[in-house]
Structure 1
Amino acid sequence: MRPSDARPHKHPPAPPLTPPRLGRRAVLAGLGATLAAPARAGRTRITLRLHHFLPPMAPMQTAVFEPWAAALAEASEGGLDLQIFPAMQLGGRPPQLADQARSGIADLVWAMPAYTPRRFPVAETMGLPFMVTSAEQTSVALHRLMTEFGGQDFAGTRPLAFWVHAGGKLHLRDAPVAGAADLRGLKLRSPSASMGDLLARLGAEPVFFPVTEMVTGLSTGVIDGCCLPYEVVPAFRLQELTRFSSEPEPGGRGLYGNSNVLLMNARRHDSLPAELRAVLDGLSGPDLSRRIGASFDRFETAGRQVVLAQGNTITPLPAAELARWREAALPVHADWIRVLEEAGLDGAAILSRAEALLAAGV
């Protein structure tokens, strides 16, 4: 699927990505204008395939990947043609995406380290419970953390951006959750092993599987609810499958924010003509991470409005209750330090640096 084949979205647009050689001239003539420009006469035209796991109408495709594809095409004068394949159209399951980038099944992938627990330990660190402020700030913090400590996590690939979605919320089918007492006995789809550990400590029964299998779980009653940001709700119509959501009161950290990475096959990256590689690298890196994070903050607001428009109930989780949840999460963080140490890393230093970056609000 080319970017132009996707459905128009109903989410607030991300700010345009500006190619470095074009000053501040707008990349997109209008929302959804994502056709690659014709290649300049005599210029090499390279087609890159980007594979991801969400449906084509998901805001990550319509408001991030498609504008990025347009920016790459314009900055390269048509030399880079990014084709987007959503919903695992190139085959496999979401946990296999990182390996698809490494093997070259896809040139680029959107991978989520939580789907392969402990394989990418530094990247997973920011996905621990209560390690997310805003998506934008946490994405910048994650990118810096990976630059400083995560060099071995993605050997054989070229990470182009790291980001975190907005803090997760609880979404329930049958009853609201206002505190840990309401979680007891509930089967909840957990977004990660570490968040599942916390949910178990709070009395719930965590179940882990990729987000793409969640609709079936809710529809059949295999699970009573899930832990996800609002941003995911419209793509899977979760507002119709759940009736209650619970969110932290404003001002504190979110329940969790899974780490994400845009990976490129290393050989494919390094084999690009130097001029095209410079364009790709110039539109990747820390600035792209920040922009994606800021986009997820906007997606969260839009997703919450969908929940409210459905007539669902949103229950606040009071600060005093969340303080008890954060205390329950301390052993989860201590266990993760040991996981990092088992991987030959300085676990205490990595977690301390992550906390410092979050506190600094980078």
Structure 2
Amino acid sequence: MTQMTRRMALATMGAALATPAYLEKAHAAEVTLRVAHFLPGVAPMQTRFFDVWAKEISDASEGAIEFQMFPAMQLGGKAPQLADQARQGISDISWTLPVYTPDRFPVAETFALPFMVRNAEKTSIAMHQLMEEFGQDEYRGLKPLAFHTHDGGKFHMRGQRINAAEDLKGLKLRAPNQATGEMLTLMGAETVFFPVTEMVVGLSNGVIDGCCLPYEVVPAYKLQELTTVSNEPEAGGRGIYCNTFSLVMNERKYEGLSDDLRKVIDDHSGADLSRRLGAQFDEFEAFGRSMVEKQGNEIHTIPAAEIERWREMAAPIYDTWAKKLEDAGLDGTAIVARADELLDAQG
């Protein structure tokens, strides 16, 4: 060993011995959490939320918690299986939609009824409160981290303007959930339901004429290239529909963490995270709309008076949903009324 090499080795050893204990901990992860979801890795949900949130938790834990991201169902299976993947330990954390498994999480689905949305932030605040009051038993085996929604959906069509319910008659539409599908069927549309991941094929091959989705989905699936007209409700009232989301963690994994690491997870979940997710989805919505405008697609406004007529047509759906909740042993009338009250309280 040359004198120079010996000096370098001694210097390296000295630096290692002098490294503070907290820096050593910061580089030695105690637990790695696998996060699974269905959107592409380039989607804003990954790049602007999950990546940022993961870093915040890693920093707060001084590196004791690290994450592995598995977007686009990279752990296998299909989107409706995400909640079960977290329960079974295939993933440690899953982000999923209750509507992908209809009637299984009925309280969490309640805000997916037609016209139960303002913007995403306000509706997410209301949803989290509803779940705290009525939905605590729905996610057994899982640790709920947040509940939220997206902004109200719009009709993205391959060429059709929608001014009235009659314009939907005979159109083949991808329905975003069962309750909205029932409403569209009442208005004469022919509806099909499949996960958003399969929507591109349906639009490309003409199986459907359009879909009802928020603008935030546009960039991930290049929806602006598959449709030419986006029909949105006149501003000021409630939106047509929203879907609800659950961010859930394997309960055993959570309980197996040390007290200090559970506190880090707790500090980065709950009502504040639900509100934050809703606010971010409002940002995603604005960006998605800008992509439609940049493409040169038409953005058509559905008159407020017509939307009110649709709300009246949808009234029986609320009664049916309340009955469904009651059949599940819940106070359906109280849950639907409370959801409406919480939404109104958001202004």
- If the TM-score is normalised by the length of the shorter chain, which range does it land in? over 0.9
Q: Are 2:280 and 1:276 equivalent residues in the alignment?
A: no
SS in 1 for 2:39: coil
Q: Which amino acid aligns with 1:253?
A: R
Stretches of structure 1 lacking an aligned partner (at least 5 in a row): 1-36
CA distance in 2, matches of 1:38, 1:233: 42
Query: In the alignment, does 2:209 pair up with 1:224?
Result: yes
1:89 — aligned with what?
74
Question: Cα offset for 1:181?
Answer: 1.5
Q: Which residue of 1 aligns with 2:10?
A: none
2:19 maps to none
- 1:97 Cα deviation from its structure 2 partner: 0.4
Residue in structure 1 matching 2:142, options 126, 133, 157: 157
Asked if 1:348 corresponds to 2:344, the answer is no
Q: Which residue in 2 is equivalent to 1:16? A: none
**When the two structures are superposed, what TM-score results if normalisation uses the length of structure 2?**
0.92
Could you give the per-residue CA deviations for residues 32-69 of structure 1, whole angstroms, max 9, x where no partner exists? xxxxx976269652100000000011111111111100
Looking at structure 2, the residues matched to 94 and 38 of structure 1 have their Cα atoms a distance apart, in angstroms, of 39
Residue correspondence of structure 1 range 67-146 to structure 2 within 5 A: 67-146=52-131
Q: Does the residue aligned with 2:25 lie in a helix, a strand or coil?
A: coil
Which residue of the partner structure matches residue 305 of structure 1?
A: 290
Secondary structure of 1:126's counterpart equals helix
- Per-residue CA deviation, residues 102-142 of structure 1 (Å, 9 max, x unaligned), is 11110000010000110000000011000001100110100
Instruction: Give the Å deviation of 1:350.
Output: 0.4
Q: Is the 8 A contact 1:39 1:78 kept in 2?
A: no
User: Deviation at 1:274?
Assistant: 1.1
Matched, 1:324 2:309: yes
Shift of 1:174: 2.4
- Per the alignment, residue 11 of structure 2 pairs with none
Residue type at the aligned position of 2:128? H
Return the letter of the residue paired with 2:147: F
1-side partners of 2:141 and 2:333: how far apart? 27
- Letter aligned with residue 303 of structure 2: P
Work out the number of aligned pairs and report it: 326
Once the two structures are superposed, residues 143-173 of structure 1 have per-residue CA deviations (whole angstroms, 9 ceiling, x without a partner) of: 0000000011111100000000010000001
Letter in structure 2 aligned against 1:91: G
Distance 1:42 1:68 in 2: 18
Which residue of 294, 301, 306 corresponds with 2:279? 294
In structure 2, relative to structure 1, the CA distance for the partners of 1:263 and 1:111 (3 Å cut) is: same
Q: Is residue 2:209 matched to residue 1:233? A: no
| Cα distance in structure 1, aligned partners of 2:41 and 2:234 | 32
Query: Does structure 2 retain, via aligned residues, the 8 Å contact 1:39–1:77?
Result: no
Contact 2:26 2:63 in 1 (8 A): no
Instruction: Answer yes or no: is the 8 Å Cα contact 2:38–2:79 preserved in 1.
Output: yes
Structure 1 runs of 4+ with >4 Å offset:
41-44
- Structure 1 partner of 2:343: 358
Report the TM-score when normalising by structure 1. Answer: 0.88
**Which secondary structure state, in structure 1, belongs to the residue aligned with residue 114 of structure 2?**
coil
Is 1:191 the counterpart of 2:191? The answer is: no
Query: Is residue 149–residue 245 contact of structure 2 (8 Å, CA) maintained in 1?
Result: yes
What is the identity, as a one-letter code, of the residue corresponding to 1:338?
K
Q: Identity over aligned residues, as a percent?
A: 58
Q: Provide the rounded CA distance (Å) in 1 between the counterparts of 2:27 and 2:250.
A: 26
Partner SS for 1:214: helix
1:39–1:45 contact (8 Å) kept in structure 2: no
Distance in 2, Cα, partners of 1:345 & 1:39:
51
Deviation at 1:176, TM superposition (A): 1.6
**Structure 1 pair 42–244 and aligned structure 2 pair: CA distance change class (3 A):** closer
> Which residue number corresponds to residue 18 of structure 2?
none
Structure with bigger helix share is 2
Give 5+ residue unaligned stretches, structure 2: 1-21
Deviation for aligned residue 1:80: 0.8
Q: Could you tell me which amino acid in structure 2 is paired with residue 135 of structure 1?
A: A
Query: Residues of 2 paired with 1:202 and 1:324: CA distance?
Result: 11
Provide Cα deviations, 1:173-214, integer angstroms capped at 9, x if missing partner.
Answer: 122212211101001001100000000011101100000000
Q: How does 1:45-84 map to 2 (within 5 A)?
A: 45-84=30-69
What residue number does 2:252 align with?
267
Cα RMSD after superposing both structures: 1.3
Structure 2 CA distance for aligned equivalents of residues 167 and 87 of structure 1: 24
Distance 1:38 1:242 in 2: 52
Structure of larger gyration radius: 2
Q: Which residue of 1 aligns with 2:191?
A: 206
Please give the alpha-carbon distance, in whole angstroms, between the structure 2 residues aligned to 1:42 and 1:223. 51
